[in-house]
Each structure stands twice: as C-alpha cells, then as structure tokens.
Amino acid sequence: MFVLRIKEREQVEVYDGVTYRLLRSITLLNARGFGDITSCEHYHCVYIGDHIVICIHRVDVLEGATTQWAVNDKPAGLSVTKARNVLVTCSFVPKIKEFSSHGHLLREMTLPDDVITPCHAIQLTSGQYVVCHGDRHDAVHRVCLMNADCTHSIHPHGGQRGSNTGQYNMPRHLAVDDNEFVFVADLNNRRVTLLSPTLNYIRQVVSRDTLKLEPWHLHLDVQRRRLYVAGNELQYGGFMSGRVVVYRV
C-alpha cells in the first residue's frame, strides 16, 4: 500500500498490505505538491500528480528509480486504464489526458461545458468514462457517465450541491469494482456513496459518523473486497491530520 505523506520533503510511504507495517519511505527530491497517486501492477510503478511542478512523477517500485513528465495543465485525479495507460484529469481546463506509462501523450479530451471542475475520471471496460466534478464554488456537483470521447454525458447522478440522498458536496474521488459499481468519495459530506453501473443510488457505504475526516482519495482492492479511504482534516489552509481507514465491502 502506497501513502502520500506531505512533510518537509515529499514522501511516498510503502506499507505491507496485510499487516499495514511501514516497510520503507521513498523521497521525491524534486516534488513540490502532491495531488493524487495511482499504481500499475503490470509495470510495478506508481504515478503521482504534482500540481505545483505540473507534472507526473513515475516511481519504479522495485528499483526506486523516479522519472517525471510534463502535463502542461495542473493534474488532479489519476487512474490507470485497462490498456495500462495513465488518465490525468485536469480540473481547470477542463480536460482528460491519456499518457503512456513513460509519459507519451496519446490523446486529449476536452470535457463539455456542463462538466465544471472535474476531479477524477476512470475508464470503464465499455470505453466510456465515469467522471466526478464540482468544487466548493460550483453550483453543480455530480458524477457523470460520459461517452467514449467525453463529448457528452450519458447519465448524470447529482445536481445542485447538498447533503441529501442523491446530492453531493464536492465529489472528489472514485473507485470502480469489476462489475463497474462506482464508489464516490463525497468530500464535504464526509461519506462514501455506492452507485450502480448506470449511476443509480444504492446505499451509503461509509457514513459521516464512521469516517469523521474528509475522504480525499479512494482505492478498492477488488480481490480482498477492501476499500481504502484516505481521510484528512483541512484547517487554516493546511492539512492538520490524516489517516487511512480500511473497510470491508
């Protein structure tokens, strides 16, 4: 398990996935602003978005070697496609960029005008995408099923910002299981919601009372049926505390 740790020097902490024991720390000397992290089992590497250097850092897990490539727009959420490419969601453009494992830009998709401030995107086996969007100053906060070119939304879930069932207050991060059920980290509501493959509401997986912190990032271990939720407490413009909570799903 890889955890981003914001310290004097930006670090990736590596934990045993069974015992949760800290194994080692990898320091990225040229990193300045961690955003998101995702991993690729095939290439044995992790990718880290840096919104200050505006790049992706690639860390070889076995050798510890690090490289980076420019995104040319601030990266937000990251995910890995079935073809083992890297999807980078750029919130302020807004666009989704697809790169090879070593940083070659394969394609760039501009999202439609009603998808404002996208935070994270995952490609489904159908070639479609599920995208969450909505920042604190945006009126609309949704999770959208997009077509294969991301030119229009096929089915949205959400709408006006709120805390009721079917509403979100900054849907920040996504996870998708093998049957394409969607887990949504609802940041300011401090909960995780489960949606069907057609983005119909099913239930609340993690409640506000259980989590207590803001869920910034999700990871789903499909084989073990474990949902990892990275929660942080943001105060006075900085992160005051954080932890990773593991749920059986």
- How much is the pLDDT for 65? 85
List pLDDT tens digits, range 59-99: 998 887 889 999 999 999 999 999 999 999 999 999 999 99
- Give the pLDDT score at 5: 74
The two three-digit tokens of residue 43, written as one number: 């290439």
Asked if pLDDT for residue 240 goes beyond 80, the answer is no
Q: Is residue 238 part of a domain?
A: yes
More confident site: 6 or 144: 144
Report pLDDT for 139. Answer: 94
In terms of pLDDT, which residue wins out, 47 or 30? 47
Identify the band that residue 236 occupies on the pLDDT scale cut at 50, 70 and 90: low
Domain annotation covers residue 131: yes
Residue 203, domain extent? 111-248
Which pLDDT band, with edges at 50, 70 and 90, does 33 fall under? confident
- Is a pLDDT exceeding 60 seen at residue 8? no
Domain annotation covers residue 226? yes
Q: Is residue 182 part of a domain?
A: yes
Average pLDDT score over residue span 43-68: 91
Residue 26 lies in a domain: no
pLDDT, tens only, 119-171: 999 999 999 999 999 998 999 999 999 999 999 999 999 999 999 999 999 99
* 219-248 average pLDDT score: 83
Query: What is the model's pLDDT at position 131?
Result: 98
pLDDT, tens digit (0-9, with 9 covering 90-100), for 96-116: 999 999 999 999 999 999 999
pLDDT for the residue 235 = 63
User: For residue 13, what pLDDT band results from cuts at 50, 70 and 90?
Assistant: confident
Cα separation of 167 and 102, whole Å? 38
Look at residue 203 and tell me whether its pLDDT is greater than 70. Answer: yes
- Does residue 133 lie in a domain region? yes
The CATH number covering residue 229 comes to 2.120.10.30
The whole-angstrom separation of Cα 12 and Cα 176 is 24
* DSSP assignment string, 32-75: --EEEEEEETTTTEEEEEETTTTEEEEEETTT--EEEEE-SS--
Question: What is the number of structural domains in the chain?
Answer: 1
Q: Does residue 126 lie in a domain region?
A: yes
What pLDDT is stored for residue 32 in this prediction? 80
- Determine the Cα–Cα distance for residues 37 and 93; give it in Å rounded to an integer: 20
Mean pLDDT for the stretch of residues 195-202 = 96
Residue 163 included in any domain: yes
pLDDT of residue 238: 60
Residue given tokens 């939720």 in the structure block: 229
What confidence score (pLDDT) does residue 29 get?
Answer: 76
Across the chain, mean pLDDT equals 92
